[in-house]
Each structure stands twice: as structure tokens, then as C-alpha cells.
Amino acid sequence: MRAGKLCGIAVVVALGATACGGSGGGGAGTDKAASGAGFPVKVADCKGSLTFSSAPRRIVTSNAAALEMLLRLGAGDRVIGTGFPPGKGTLPGALDGAAQKVPVLGKSVIPKEKLLGSGADLYVDTFASMDAMGGAGDVPTEEEYAAAGIKHLHLTSTACAPTAGKAQEDLSGVEKDIRRLGAVTGTGKRADALVAGMRAKVGAVHKAVGDLAPGKRPTYFFFDYDAGTKQPVAVCRKQVANAVIGQAGARNVFDGCDGDFKPVSWEDVVAENPDWIQLGVRDRGSAAANAKAFDEAAAFLKTFPATKDLAAVRNGKFLRIGSERTTIAGVGNADTVEEIAHTVHADRFTAARK
């Protein structure tokens, strides 16, 4: 059962032994977890705290981002189902094959009855509420999770963002999510390695563009095409994307709005006149379908009366980067930082290679 209300940054506390005692390798990490080393472990998120006497063996993930984290941690063999599954070819290399073998419990939000009856002992929740994904379905109560024997753990950098006390300006919240999952699954060393890899990528970007004053940074609009075109939805300062954009040396034009997402008007977008626009498209399940969606998003901006004369639109200053690795916590956030930085600051990286 959860205890108390602990909104904000997640806490990881080891009870009796280190919570990060795991192996960098998937199989070895699983063996270590199975042996009980490093347990019990207590973790906390913005909804409360949980204690694990041993590593979970039957995990369900709410979406592809949480699934990818567990695969990268070497705990993928313990995932028995997921919602919002990744399309074939979405994840790199061997991760893709492993992800495609995970049973799909819901093509979008997992139905309440199926989740509670899955036999899981841990549910990793990226969204906190079904409302975050369009209000589909019914949300299990914490009492129902407990009755089903399922511990309910949130990714705080996404699920807890709306109630966080401060803006997300770096990837520390994402790093904590990865380390917390590493502690829970007994794969702490792998978690440390993943975080180190992310920091190396972001650090290289900082070396190239970190000296830019805020007023000298190119302005950037994340166009959430799938949220609808009648009224745009902005990513605000508490959203992961705000941190990704800022770490890449750009400035989110809506970094002044509170919360994570907020409906704005096309007049607001035009008034900001962004230097660059990211075509935020959610995974369609194939490279061809994704390319088609990116083309549609660009075509809309080029023909819509309010946006067709924006300089970024006229000059084709678009970035085709998927929504998920920009707005949802994961190792891929660091890759997006790299891609944005190398695009909007191409001259600096070209100079660095000379």
C-alpha cells in the first residue's frame, strides 16, 4: 500500500543494503535480482512510497517508453505485457526484436480489467491517469491494484510533471526514473551505465553550445500534430520536452506557461514566430507511415493561412523527430537533444570537427 503524499522528485532508499547492486549485463542482472541481493528496496514517487522485498518477476508497462527502459536495463524478460506497444522497427537493434515478443495488452491504454487480471506484480505507469491519454477507459484505484497484488510505480518525470514544484530544465528527472527502475529490478549498475551514456551525449552538446546566452538561442516550437490542428497544444516548462529543447541549446517559445501541456492559439504561435519547428508525430508503426505523417504535418503548416508565412515554414526549418522520445521519459531523450542541437547549431558542430 502507498503511504503519504510525496509530490516532487523521486527518492530511492536502500534498506539494509545498497539498492544499486546489479549487473551491467541483462542475464547477470536478472540472476542478481533473483538472488535477493540489495533488497528490500524502498522507492517513492509523487503518489507515495513502495517497498520491494525482492525484484518483481511479472511486470506490465503502460507504454513503449517504460518497456524500452526495462529492456535497456536487462529486465525485459520479466515484462509480461504492455500498452501502447512500439511499432516494428521503432527501437534500435536487438531491442526491437525483444519488444515485439512482449504481449500487447492494449494497443493504447490497457483496459482496467485486463491490467488487474494480468498476474503482474508491478505496473510501471508513464501517465499517472488515463486522462493524460485522452480519458480512455477506467482507472484502477490504488486499493484495486493492492487487491490484485500489483505494485503501482510512476515515472515521475512524465506522470508527476503537472504537480511538480519546478520546471524541467535538465534530464535529471529522467535519470532518477531510470535509476529508480534499476533499484527496483536489481539492475542498478546497468542503470548507472545508461545514465552515464546519456550524460556523455548531453555533455558533448553543452561543450559545443553551452556558452550561448538565453537571448541568443534560436526559438523553438514543438508542434504536436497528433493533438489536433484546430487548436495547437504547447509543451510548457514542466514537460520533459522543455528540458530536451533547452539542453539542445534552443528556447522553447512556450517555456513561460505552467504545467506540462496547455492549449494555445495559432495567434500565440505566430506572435512567437519560432526560428525552428519540430513536427511532433507519434509512432505510426512503420517508417513509411511515420514519413507520411511528417509530410502531412509539414503540408498543414505550409498551407494553413495562419502559419504559411512564418519564416520557419517558408524556409523549411522543420525537424522530423518523433513525439515519444521528446515528450516521454527515456534514454532516447538524450538522442533527441543531440539531434536538435546538431540541426539548429549545425555550424558549431561543423567547426568542432575541423
Domain 11-195 shares a fold with domain 211-353: yes
Residues 155, 327 contacting (CB under 8 angstroms): no
Which SS3 state, helix, strand or coil, does residue 153 take? strand
How remote is the C-alpha of 262 from its chain's centroid?
18
pLDDT at 5: 33
CATH architecture assigned to 11-195 = 3-Layer(aba) Sandwich (3.40)
Read off the pLDDT of residues 166-201 as tens digits, 9 standing for 90 and up.
Answer: 899 999 999 999 999 999 999 999 999 999 999 999
Which SS3 state, helix, strand or coil, does residue 216 take? helix
pTM of the model: 0.85
Residue boundaries of the structural domains of the chain:
11-195, 211-353
Of 88-92, 279-283, 286-290, the least confident: 88-92
Q: Could you tell me which CATH number the domain at 211-353 has?
A: 3.40.50.1980
Which SS3 state, helix, strand or coil, does residue 20 take? coil
